Amino acid sequence: MYYNSNNDSHSQEPWDRPIETTGRSLDNEYVPDEPGHSGKKKGRGGKTVALCLVCALVGGLVGGVGATAATGGLSGGTTTIYEGERAPTVVNVAQVNGKTLLTGPEIYASFVGSTVGITTEVVTTNSWGQPVSAAAAGSGFVITNDGYILTNYHVIDGAQSIKVAFVDGTTYDAVLVGGEEENDIAVLKIDATGLTPVIIGDSDNIKVGEQVVAIGNPLGELTYSMTQGIISAKDRSITMQNGEVMNMLQTDTAINSGNSGGPLFDMYGQVIGITSAKLSSSSSTSEATIEGLGFAIPINDIKDMVQDIIAHGYVTGKAYMGITVTTVPESDAQRYGMSQGALVKSVDESSCAAKAGLQKGDIITAIDGTTVLSSAELVEAKKEYKAGDTATLEVDRSGEKLTLTLTFDEDTPERRAAQEAAQEEEAQQEQQQSQQGSSDFFWPFGGLSPWFY
């Protein structure tokens, strides 16, 4: 449960109901001072900032399939995620109550034992068909006393093995409980009890100019380092290296390779963000020259997702269309006489998109009246919906303007894996057709990667 020492004076809100899991319970007693998010996400002001961002991860990882539940064989018991007051290592319990400001040394002494280093092994195939092993390193932090750990999805993406290390030298093999690629979070599980979890804070309450500290493993070698800075801005819509658009906290706290997945604390000793990326003048972390521009995922944006992942292995209720799309740039739209928007590369025949009448080659130009000029804009618009919601799509089909009504499916790991397999098979077929000099589908944007929806 999220724990708050003041919860006796508040009533339970709808999002605070217990979530039952097999062999364990996850009681949520966290009651925020102000109502949190409910239903569809509220729109965020300002324009999306397209920046060259590099994930703060040591080593190179390749794309993997969607994360799925993998908790078999681990110890059961009661899973509790705490928020509010707890007994720290150095600071008196009365001080860690969300109301007493702490010093940097106090925060470090209290929570360095809750921060972990994560190393992964990824096996890929080189151009000669030979298996090649690569390693990557990142950070994470303990969120329950029985071994659940939160980190970034890109830290464990494609990993064949995951190891977790604590500041006292103790190491564990970890399994992936589940992940959420679009929001760059993943939950790991180690077979351990009696751990000291962090305290989950309220990122909505943090103000620009307030001091924050990060603990992590920069470069994968300078383990358990703490850096300090301020919140530079909130609600930054940032285009990540993989093309995903995310809401971020901006900070001048030093974030470097290996910091990915680590905690960002306010000066009350509460985690208000997950350090994820930094601005770079290069796509390589080793050549990053711009300093003072780091980004963290607001903890409020992913609290409910973490509960879902622990309970089900994935985030439930997410909208799924069953298509792959890519952007039709304005220049190419003018050149080929096409509409600008999200061009459909493939359609899952069993999906809601197929039932609505979407076809390969259609260009989605709007959803419920909101203009869609790119794949990124479509994925952002889709985040406002849940499984079962209905939306109206405006589509250009070879110059004919159509209006289609779609009821979203639920995005499950099984659906995503099946679509990825189908897309890979289609890509192989297109490659064969290209080599044979024929194709049944005109595709002028060969270098652009499709997006799954």
By CB atoms closer than 10 A (0-12, 13-18, 19+), residue 173 is exposed
CA trace torsion 10, 12, 13, 14 (10° rounding): 180
37 catalytic, yes or no?
no
**Tokens in use for 300?**
């409020």
DSSP E strands, 220-350: 225-239, 245-251, 263-266, 271-279, 294-298, 319-320, 323-328, 341-347
Q: Judge whether 308 counts as a catalytic residue.
A: no
- Of 260, 276, 351, 375, the active-site residue reads 260
184 is catalytic: yes
What is the SS3 assignment for 32? coil
How many CA atoms, within 13 angstroms, populate the side-chain half-sphere of residue 366?
9
3-class state of residue 192 by DSSP: coil
| In contact, 440 and 364? CB cutoff 8 Å | no
Distances, alpha carbon 189 to alpha carbons 115, 136, 141, 305, in Å: 14, 18, 11, 16
The sign of the CA dihedral 150, 156, 162, 164 is negative
Report residue 426: phi and psi, to 5°. Answer: -65, -40
Catalytic residue (choose from 184, 348, 362, 411): 184
List the structure tokens of 427: 């890509």
Q: How far is it, in rounded angstroms, from Cα 230 to Cα 251?
A: 6
What is the C-alpha separation between 296 and 286, in angstroms, rounded? Answer: 20
Q: Are 444 and 313 in contact (CB under 8 A)?
A: no
Cα(278)–Cα(236) distance, integer angstroms: 13
Catalytic residue among 110, 146, 154, 157: 154
Which residues are designated catalytic?
154, 184, 260
